[in-house]
Chain A
């Protein structure tokens, strides 16, 4: 999308154009979902958090005083809703998951909305990156990697399936991820 198109979209959105909102929603809902689900590890909760955030985004559209990167405002809402949820969940479980919360907070801090939003992967066109990246993997590596992406397939299962040692599988996964990481850097 051209920058001027984007600005027009933001403008229309702020004026209450529901078509513009739909456009933004369809573009960013999966990314915001991805951000939430990898923190809360529950699809329904993640969806609810995202939905709640988009509602707030829509309801506060008139309070956004910029035509520039309106979506960073959206990410702020998602980020803070997510953090709120994780902290409340921790309280509800009597802080039995403090280690987990700490790990997540380190991660969330990395994506803090105060930091440059343009380095944020969740603001990027992941679809395009994905399409370009996977081909770069060596064949063996890709096979293991594709298997690993299927949900609930453990490394042991992959190892059994391919007749490899667990160590090999995990090394290959690591290698694949690292290659992809290098690919990703082109987009940052």
Chain B
């Protein structure tokens, strides 16, 4: 074995004990590379060394505990295999049912990308954000800020959503399968169309405006058809009195402006205007000057900052003063 002794025994021992310095490792490598027999010699010693330490190594392998771990994992998988196969198909159908394209747009020209998780079938948007939800039938629902859309697909022959907030519905035609939009005050029966529904809790009204096709407004209690809207018509229900009116809209921008990325005020009270701004920009408004509350505003604003919008308001109505508190996100009108 003399040919193997051209390396220091200490190096070999330290190699076996994983105790080599960087320089020594290089030394061992070049010795190993010089002759394949060296590799066999060294690894043979290493095997012997391993065998001699076998009891210790085996103990640290902790085989019984490790088996328990892998065993429970495998049994769990086996048990759930059948279930999970079904579950997977079910979930796949559910996720496929609602392909969500979420995006947002702000008036500062910023685009917010808002991905809504579809663990359940409720979608919601935050302040100043809007999102698009595409339902499994291809219908597209664009949600305005601070809006919740519940999608229920449990009735086999019905397409049905519940809305809180504001959204534009672009519903795919499907004969024999009407689409329903539920609000707390009435529901809208749809057969392929484009329309806007606004049903915010803190607004005084619930409105539906039709841009294309036909929708029927159905009373929640009696299930009676209240009216059938024609293109350009707006169904407006006063929450307090329960009275409703149908008006032909001269300018659809009022209801669809937000959908196109604009902010529209169509002859609305200052209070309603600040409600809209609150939803868009996330600022809380406080109106201390009661004299200005009856002022009405009509405007179509394209991508402006809140600061500029406030400037315009005080420009057209100079007795409206305002103070912006950036930190607290509050605007005081006095």
Q: List A residues at the B interface (Cβ < 8 Å).
A: 18, 21-22, 25-26, 29-30, 33-34, 37-38, 41, 43, 47, 50-51, 54-55, 58, 99-100, 102-103, 106-107, 110, 121, 126-127, 129-130, 133-134, 145, 148-151, 154-155, 167, 170-171, 173-174, 176-178, 180-181, 183-185
**Apart from A47-B61, A106-B29, A180-B49, 16 more pairs, CB < 8 Å:** A25-B63, A30-B57, A33-B60, A47-B62, A47-B66, A51-B69, A58-B70, A99-B29, A106-B33, A106-B39, A121-B51, A126-B51, A149-B52, A154-B19, A174-B13, A180-B52
**Interface residues in B242-295 (C-beta closer than 8 Å to A):** none
Query: Which residues on the A side are within 8 Å of B32 (C-beta)?
Result: 103, 106
- Interface 1/0 per residue, B46-68 and A, CB below 8 Å: 11111111111110111110110
Query: Which residues on the B side are within 8 Å of A18 (C-beta)?
Result: 71, 74-75
A34-B57 contact given A26-B67, A55-B70, A133-B52, CB 8 Å threshold: yes
Query: Which residues on the B side are within 8 Å of A99 (C-beta)?
Result: 22, 25-26, 29
Query: Which residues on the A side are within 8 Å of B26 (C-beta)?
Result: 99
Query: Which residues on the A side are within 8 Å of B43 (C-beta)?
Result: 107, 110
B28 interface hit (Cβ, 8 Å) = yes
In the complex, how many angstroms separate the beta carbon of A2 from the nearest chain B beta carbon? 23
Q: Is the interface of B mostly helix, strand, loop or mixed?
A: helix
- Closest-by-CB residue of A relative to B19 is A154
Q: Cβ of A37 and Cβ of B60 under 8 Å apart?
A: yes
A129-B51 contact given A41-B18, A51-B66, A184-B44, CB 8 Å threshold: yes
Bound CA span A72–B236, Å: 77
- Closest-by-CB residue of B relative to A41 is B18
Q: Cβ of B57 and Cβ of A183 under 8 Å apart?
A: no
- CB-defined A-B contacts under 8 Å, sample of 13: A30-B57, A37-B57, A47-B66, A51-B66, A58-B74, A102-B29, A121-B51, A145-B52, A151-B56, A167-B10, A170-B9, A177-B16, A184-B48
- Closest-by-CB residue of B relative to A43 is B60
Contact of A121 among B47, B58, B60 (CB under 8 A): B47
Query: Which residues on the B side are within 8 Å of A100 (C-beta)?
Result: 25
Contact of A126 among B10, B46, B54 (CB under 8 A): B54
Query: Which residues on the A side are within 8 Å of B55 (C-beta)?
Result: 130
